Amino acid sequence: MNDIERTTPMRAAMTRIRFKGAAVAVASVAMAVVLTACGGDEASDKPENKTKEPSATASKKSDEQTPPKEDSTQVLATITGKDGIEVTVNSIKRESGGFVTVKGRVKNGSDQIWTAPGWQGLEEEMAGNGASMAGASLVDQAGKKRYLVLRDTDGRCLCTKFEGFLPGAETPFFAQFPAPPAGTTEVDFQVPTMPTATIKISG
């Protein structure tokens, strides 16, 4: 076999290899174009902004679920006792169930620890309440009747019980009483050892 005859099969093989390589390269480019196109379509399907604005209905429901705060800026009466003890009444409201709730704040304006001495009242069954508003009462002057703080069957008052007050300390209080007749709009609020304050019932 001469040189021409030997090289011809080799050239043919090399030509086939080149042809296959070109075909693979063309197929790779085509695949890349297809993948790019698919990727572009997938990206376009995604939302541009994932942040959702709260709807008016959701905001309204949120507002309805938030109970209104007690207005502690309203002052119906301020009672100042000895040693600088001060009681501020912020509200007295009729509640469903036939009772009224008095709310306010007590401040220790003295220079020593204060433990509400005598405020639990003189009733034996209320003595176990310790430092508290248990001895407070409402007086309906027109109806000539006194209303004592409500209590459970064990003598526990439906009122605030206090810990020892440091000088300058202030704390909120509440006390619940049987409701006077609907026609009664004004009562005297009395706390043992403190002056009497006349306050108007709301609600």
Report pLDDT for 185.
Answer: 93
Measured CA to CA, the distance from residue 112 to residue 50 in angstroms comes to: 60
pLDDT at 71: 55
CATH code at 77-200: 2.60.40
pLDDT at 15: 46
Q: For residue 84, is pLDDT > 60? A: yes
Residue whose tokens read 């409201």: 93
Spatial separation of the C-alpha atoms in residues 2 and 14, rounded to whole Å? 19
According to DSSP, the β-strands at 170-178 and 99-108 are antiparallel
| Cα–Cα distance measured from residue 145 to residue 180, given in angstroms and rounded to the nearest whole number | 9
User: Taking the CB of residue 191, how many other CB atoms lie within 10 A of it?
Assistant: 25
Q: What is the pTM of this model?
A: 0.63
Q: Residue holding tokens 């007050």?
A: 165
Answer yes or no: is pLDDT of 123 > 90: no
pLDDT confidence bin for 76, thresholds 50/70/90:
very high
pLDDT at 172 over 80: yes
